[in-house]
Structure 1
Amino acid sequence: MARYLIKRILGMCVVIFLVLTIAFIIVRLAPGDPAALMLGPDATAEDAAALRSQLGLDRPITAQYLSFVRGALQGDLGTSIYFKQPVVSVLAGRAEPTIFLSLFSLVIALVIATPIGIYAAYRRGSLLDQGAISTAMLAASIPSFWTGLMFQRYLATDLGWFPASGYGAPDASFVERMGYLILPAIVLGIVNSALILRFTRASMLDILGEDYVRTARSKGMTERRVVLRHALKNAAIPIITVIGLTFALLVSGAVVTERVFNIPGMGNLVVSAVLRRDYPVIQGALIVVASLYVLINLLTDLLYLLVDKRVKY
């Protein structure tokens, strides 16, 4: 086990180093001069040159890269060109809504997908099974921004059940801010429940046809115990895998939903940083998201040990 963890951690370090390199290259391939964009159309060439020198953008690419990597290894992702603050502080200030939005969305997706997927597999070929698969495909096909706009229009504006947008006033309590995340979490939960539902159904179908399931039934066990204790437990590994991937996608892919509901999260921040050519923020966000991906992947693999003692590393 220790050997496996060491190998995985070394692999994570390699992945993050590659992400550092790719992030550095990609943002500098983007067209436009960040100094000129910051100063506006009325700035002179001398002003732009002075700002580039201040930001270190006039140094050779190799020197910029080495400085960037050295700072990242020390936990310094640079200073935001727009906010004039450390990138770590800027990202930390936007992390709360994105993390809680992702968690709420994942819970909603699980509440929707898991019981329906289990029951659809148990009643394979039934009207409910066919309806569940069709609904899941429809939910996965509809763009999340359209679903968000419709929910915002009818549930928030017309019925007034939820706040339409925003994240509360600066002095709002934690509970009040969480209330602003319910409607976007429902939107993301519905969209992402489709994949979990299909994986749950497919995994359960594979297990329900096994000999030990038929043996459990022949011993007189109730169907509920057979399905939940024997079948679901052995079908859990693929389901846990897709849940981990879904959570990682939610953390990194909530950009559209945050824009629709005007949530000041990391997704909204990255879009604004791209428009402003705020290189440090873009690089920092890419590094943080990649680190979360590899960390969630590792935690997902370790969860296998809790659900199936036969798994060996």
Structure 2
Amino acid sequence: MLRYIFQRLMGMIVVMAIVVTIVFVIVRVTPGDPAAVMLGPEATQEDITALRSRLGLDQSLGLQYVYYIGQLLQGDLGQSIFLNQPVTSALAERAEPTFFLTLFSIVIACAIALPIGIYAAYRRGSFVDQAATTLAMLAASIPSFWLGLILIQVFAVRFGWFPVSGYGGPGSSFTERMYHLTLPAIALGVVSSALILRFTRASMLDVLGDDFIRTARAKGLGERKVVMKHALKNALIPILTIIGLTAAVLISGAVVTETVFGLPGVGNLVVSAVLRRDYPVIQGALLVIAALYVLINFVIDMLYLLVDPRVRY
């Protein structure tokens, strides 16, 4: 087991090294002078030269890379040009809405997808199974921002049950902030549940047809115990995989939804940084999102050890 964990950690380091190199190269090979692009057409040559010196762009590419790696090892993602603050601080200030939105959305997606997917597999070919498959295809084809706009129109504007946008005031309680996240979490959760439902159904169908399930039934075990204890436990690995990938996608893909609902999250920050050509923020956000992808995959791999003892061998 320790060897398996060590291999996964080494893989994480290699992946992050590749991502860091790609992010570094992309900014440097962008057409035009990055400093001139960030400052805009009205910047003077003196301003451009000063920014190039501040960002280290006047040095050789090799020295820039070494300096960039040294900054990252110290936890320094650079300085935002327009926010005039460290990128790390800017991302940390916007992390809370994105984190809770992702967590809330995953909970909603799993609450919808897992029971329906399990029951649809158990009642394969029935009306429930066909209806679940149809609804999953429908949910997968709906853009989350469009569903968000519909939810705003119905539940916020017409009925007034939820706020239209925002994340509450500076002194808002945790409950009030979660209340503001309800509609965007539902929008993301419903769309994300489609893929989890399909994988849950497919994985359960594979397991329910195995010999050990027939043996368990032949021994007289109840259907609930056969499905929930024997079948579900053996079908969990692909289900955990798709849940982890969905969480990673939500972290990086909630940009439009955060913009629609006016949430001050990381996605909104990235959109603003792209529009203002704030390359340090874009670089930092890409690295953080990539690190979260790798970390989530590592956590899922560790969960494999608990679900399936064969993995550790």
What TM-score, normalized by structure 1, do the two folds share? 0.94
What is the distance in 2 between the residues matched to 1:29 and 1:152?
42
In structure 2, the partner of 1:97 is 97
What is the distance in 2 between the residues matched to 1:11 and 1:200?
28
* Letter in structure 1 aligned against 2:196: I
What is the distance in 2 between the residues matched to 1:31 and 1:157?
45
What is the distance in 2 between the residues matched to 1:80 and 1:152?
33
Say whether 1:225 aligns with 2:225: yes
Match of 2:310, SS state, is coil
Q: How far 1:230 moved relative to its partner?
A: 1.2
Q: How far 1:148 moved relative to its partner?
A: 0.9
Show the 5 A alignment for 1:59-74: 59-74=59-74
Pick closer, same or farther for the CA change 1:224–1:298 going to 2, 3 Å: same
Once the two structures are superposed, residues 169-210 of structure 1 have per-residue CA deviations (whole angstroms, 9 ceiling, x without a partner) of 122122211211111000000000001000100011111111
Pick closer, same or farther for the CA change 1:15–1:227 going to 2, 3 Å: same
In structure 1, the partner of 2:174 is 174
Once the two structures are superposed, residues 18-70 of structure 1 have per-residue CA deviations (whole angstroms, 9 ceiling, x without a partner) of 11111112233445655445555443333333333333333333332221111
Say whether 1:125 aligns with 2:125: yes
Q: How far 1:102 moved relative to its partner?
A: 0.5
In structure 2, the partner of 1:154 is 154
What is the distance in 2 between the residues matched to 1:115 and 1:153?
29
Match of 1:168, SS state, is coil
Match of 2:59, SS state, is coil
Match of 1:310, SS state, is helix
Q: Is the 8 A contact 2:28 2:34 kept in 1?
A: no
In structure 1, the partner of 2:201 is 201
Percent sequence identity is 67
Q: Is the 8 A contact 2:38 2:279 kept in 1?
A: no
What is the distance in 2 between the residues matched to 1:46 and 1:75?
30
Match of 1:311, SS state, is helix
In structure 1, the partner of 2:311 is 311
* Letter in structure 1 aligned against 2:144: S
What is the distance in 2 between the residues matched to 1:128 and 1:165?
36
* Letter in structure 1 aligned against 2:281: V
What is the distance in 2 between the residues matched to 1:300 and 1:105?
18
What is the distance in 2 between the residues matched to 1:231 and 1:151?
36
What is the distance in 2 between the residues matched to 1:207 and 1:77?
46
In structure 2, the partner of 1:55 is 55
Q: How many residues align?
A: 313
Pick closer, same or farther for the CA change 1:10–1:297 going to 2, 3 Å: same
Say whether 1:249 aligns with 2:249: yes
* Letter in structure 2 aligned against 1:54: R
Q: How far 1:294 moved relative to its partner?
A: 1.1
Once the two structures are superposed, residues 60-111 of structure 1 have per-residue CA deviations (whole angstroms, 9 ceiling, x without a partner) of 3333222111110121111111112111111111111111100000000000
Say whether 1:14 aligns with 2:17: no
Q: Is the 8 A contact 1:199 1:242 kept in 2?
A: yes
Q: Is the 8 A contact 2:162 2:183 kept in 1?
A: yes
Q: Is the 8 A contact 2:4 2:312 kept in 1?
A: no
Match of 2:190, SS state, is helix
Q: Is the 8 A contact 2:27 2:34 kept in 1?
A: no
* Letter in structure 2 aligned against 1:249: V
* Letter in structure 2 aligned against 1:24: F
Pick closer, same or farther for the CA change 1:201–1:50 going to 2, 3 Å: same
Structure 2 unmatched runs, 5+:
none
Over the residues paired in the alignment, what is the CA RMSD in angstroms? 1.7
What is the distance in 1 between the residues matched to 2:33 and 2:258?
27
In structure 2, the partner of 1:298 is 298
Moved more, 238-247 or 48-57: 48-57
What is the distance in 1 between the residues matched to 2:154 and 2:58?
52
In structure 1, the partner of 2:188 is 188
What TM-score, normalized by structure 2, do the two folds share? 0.94
* Letter in structure 1 aligned against 2:173: S
